[in-house]
Amino acid sequence: MSTEPVTLMVARRVRKGCYRDFLAWLEEGKQLASDFPGYLGSGVLAPPEGDDEFQIICRFADEASLAAWKGSASRHAWLKRGGHLFAHPHEHRAKGLDHWFAPGVRPPRWKQSVAIWVAFFPVSLAFQLVSGDALNQLPLLPAVLVSTLVLTPLMTYVFIPLSTRLLGGWLQVDRHAESPSTHTLRR
């Protein structure tokens, strides 16, 4: 079993007229999951206007923790209670940083690092420019605590996914192309 963090991403389409009940059901699931050992956090990405598919992200410390949650009676009862609220569920599981990149096709680690840096540098710089005076007045530990508490969710849910989407073509360039000037995109 893996000992690195595991991210479970679930997509669910809300049935018409069930939006509020669906959101309450999601909150109930988050509360249930938070009681399990190894639970690291979760989030929900609402769909863009005109779409009804929510992205639910749960992170656990390792495969065993995720398996305990997925196999639990409380989760099964929760899924059964909410089964009428959604349609077409599908799941994807990723380890480490892999959840930021297209399933099944992982770019080399150096490209992953570049994509993360491209997101992290400007956002970190902007955060420092906006909050620098206030953070500079704090001792080092609280200043770092505040900046990481603000930047980590922003990076995880907004800017790194945006960076990987914008750099998607470059990230997926075939490493086995015949020459450096010939690039084949994976489809």
Query: Nearest CA to 31 among 86, 80, 74?
Result: 74
Who contacts 16 (Cβ-Cβ below 8 Å, separation ≥6)? 52
Who contacts 5 (Cβ-Cβ below 8 Å, separation ≥6)? 40, 59, 60, 61, 62, 95, 96
pLDDT of residue 187: 31
d(CA 43, CA 57): 5
Amino acid at 148: T
Residue 18 vs residue 97, higher pLDDT? 18
Place of tokens 């953070």: 135
d(CA 98, CA 74): 28
Residue pLDDT, tens place only, 128-178: 888 878 888 888 888 888 888 888 878 877 888 788 878 878 877 654 443
Contact 164, 171 (CB under 8 A): yes
pLDDT reading at 63 higher than 70 = yes
pLDDT of residue 95: 54
Contact 11, 89 (CB under 8 A): yes
pLDDT of residue 102: 54
Residue 182 vs residue 67, higher pLDDT? 67
Contact 119, 158 (CB under 8 A): no
Residue 10 is encoded by which pair of tokens?
């679930």
Domains identified in the chain and CATH numbers: 6-96 (3.30.70.100), 109-171 (no CATH)
CA 21 and chain centroid, separation: 23
The rounded radius of gyration (Å) of the Cα atoms in the chain is 19
In the three-class reduction of DSSP (H, G, I as helix; E, B as strand; rest coil), residue 133 is classed as: helix
Q: What is the mean pLDDT of residues 59-64?
A: 87
Highest mean pLDDT among 14-28, 46-60, 92-106, 148-162: 14-28
Highest mean pLDDT among 23-27, 46-50, 178-182: 23-27
Contact 69, 36 (CB under 8 A): yes
pLDDT of residue 149: 81
Q: What is the mean pLDDT of residues 46-58?
A: 80
